[in-house]
Structure 1
Amino acid sequence: MDEDVTLWFDPSCPFTWRTSRWLVAVTRPRGHRIGWRLMSLGILNEGKEIPEQYRETAARAVRGRRLLQAAGDRYGQEALARLYTEIGERVHEQHRPMDTDVFVESIAAAGLPAELIEAVDDDSLEAAIRESHDAGQARVGTPSGSPIVAIGDRPGFFGPVVVPVPEGESAEKLYDALRLLSAVPEFSEVKRARAAF
Structure 2
Amino acid sequence: MSITLWFDPICPFTWRTSRWVRDVATRRGEPVTWRFMSLAILNEGKEIPERLHKAHQKSRAALRVLAAAEEGFGQPAVDRLYTAIGHRVHDLDDDLTPDTLAAALADSGLPSDLLRAMDDTALDTLVSESHHLGQSRVGTESGSPVTAIDDGPGFFGPVVASVPAADEADRLIDAIRLLSTVPVFSELKRERAPLS
Pairwise TM-score range, normalised by the shorter structure: over 0.9
1:1-197 to 2 correspondence within 5 Å? Answer: 3-197=1-195
Distance in 2 between the 1:29 and 1:60 partners?
A: 33
* Cα deviation code 1:133-160 (max 9, x no counterpart): 0100000000000000000000000000
Single out whichever of 54-63 and 125-134 deviates more from structure 2: 54-63
CA apart distance, 1:53: 2.5
Q: Percent identity?
A: 53
* AA in 2 matched with 1:118: R
SS at match of 1:145: coil
Distance in 2 between the 1:90 and 1:147 partners?
A: 19
SS at match of 2:48: coil
CA apart distance, 1:73: 1.1
Distance in 1 between the 2:139 and 2:41 partners?
A: 16
Distance in 1 between the 2:35 and 2:134 partners?
A: 8
* AA in 2 matched with 1:104: A
Q: How many residues align?
A: 195
TM-score, normalising length: structure 1: 0.97
CA apart distance, 1:90: 0.4
Q: Which runs of 5+ in 2 are unaligned?
A: none
CA apart distance, 1:58: 1.4
* Cα deviation code 1:20-51 (max 9, x no counterpart): 00000011121111000001111111110111
User: 8 Å contact 2:17–2:163 — kept in the other structure?
Assistant: yes
TM-score, normalising length: structure 2: 0.98
Distance in 2 between the 1:84 and 1:101 partners?
A: 15
Q: Which runs of 5+ in 1 are unaligned?
A: none
* AA in 2 matched with 1:138: S
Q: CA RMSD in A?
A: 0.7
Distance in 1 between the 2:123 and 2:49 partners?
A: 26
SS at match of 1:112: coil
Displaced runs of 4 or more, over 6 A: none
* Cα deviation code 1:122-141 (max 9, x no counterpart): 00000111000010000000
